[in-house]
Amino acid sequence: MRGSAPVPDIQEIVLTARETRRPDRVIRRLVSEDGATDDLGLLTRLAGHRDLLPVRLLDALAGVRPRRGSPVTVVRRPRPDEDVGPTPRHWRLRGRTATAAHDLWLALVSLQVGEPVCWQTLQDGRLFNDVLPIKGQEHAQTGHSSAATLDYHVEDAFDDDRCDVLALLCLRNRDLTATTVATAGGLHVGTADHELLRRPRFAILPDPEHLKANGTADVSPAWRPVLFGDAQPCLRIDPPFTRTAPGDDASAQAFARLCRQLEGGLVHVRLHPGDLVLIDNYRAVHGREPFTPRYDGTDRWLRKLTLTFDLRRSSGRRRAGSRALSLS
């Protein structure tokens, strides 16, 4: 998207070196005092530094929480000075403080939109997750694939307590591999399809990462609608993991038509180091184009936060003092 014409439903803010100088200075101080960014106490301290962000960025983010603004917000900035080291071959191999300054920049922006939450079943329940290629998972439908297209989807669409907003920060993207996004704003769904898609006739399975960590491969998902909400529908879409009942051809065909529209509306967003994207997980889907991994420390590497507008919504699924949800 950088250097291209504006895209409807996507807002882009390009920050200057002057606008990022002060937050970078405070972030470096916080990292020097305590480099463990999974510490909720550090994030609480960071939340009090809203004034570090330029007013024009705060204004752009103000519409995200009530879902009045753009479903996709790209925030670009000058490349950070901090070296994150080589891309790890696995998320378990990341140095504990290697990405600390970048994580706090991601958190500082994200905290203006929602509260970070995570999953006990993903990356050992870490608040910040790594999105990077892992050998052996090239064709998986997860954030660790590479050679296969990561199909567009709503993050954790299978769960009622899925995040409200997905935040992705680019650490490395030498090949400018695109994150793909499409929004509900451009959908034109016929009346008959609209009625079918709003009925609980679709079963959405968790992805393999959740199931592997949970020690189960056999789940019985509830039947859900894939469209819901007011006149402009909200989405609950994850095509590779969505099933209809045997013989329900009408629902299957309506879903296929919806998927074709979303696929036709996909926009390529190319993130550079330091850039981040905030995606409304109810009004947009996201994915990734394929790329060839090298596994030599230079591969694409993003950091991920998932955000909720209401922490109380998932309180019964989290331990006291934790942001990690259990898998239902």
Alpha helices by DSSP H, listed for the chain, are: 17-33, 40-47, 55-61, 100-110, 191-197, 208-214, 249-264
Q: What letter represents residue 176's amino acid?
A: L
Q: Which of 161, 153, 158 is nearest to 279 (CA)?
A: 153
Q: What letter represents residue 239's amino acid?
A: P
Q: What is the DSSP track for 83-144?
A: ---SPPSSGGGS-TTTTHHHHHHHHHHHTTT-EEEEETTSGGG-SSEEE---TT-TTSSSTT
155 assigned to a ligand binding site: yes
Provide the 8-state DSSP code for 232: S
**Could you tell me which residues come within 8 angstroms of residue 183 by beta carbon, excluding any fewer than 6 positions away?**
9, 10, 71, 72, 265, 283, 284, 285
138 assigned to a ligand binding site: no
209 assigned to a ligand binding site: no
Q: Which residues are annotated as a binding site?
A: 153, 155, 286
Q: Which residues are annotated as a binding site for Fe cation?
A: 153, 155, 286
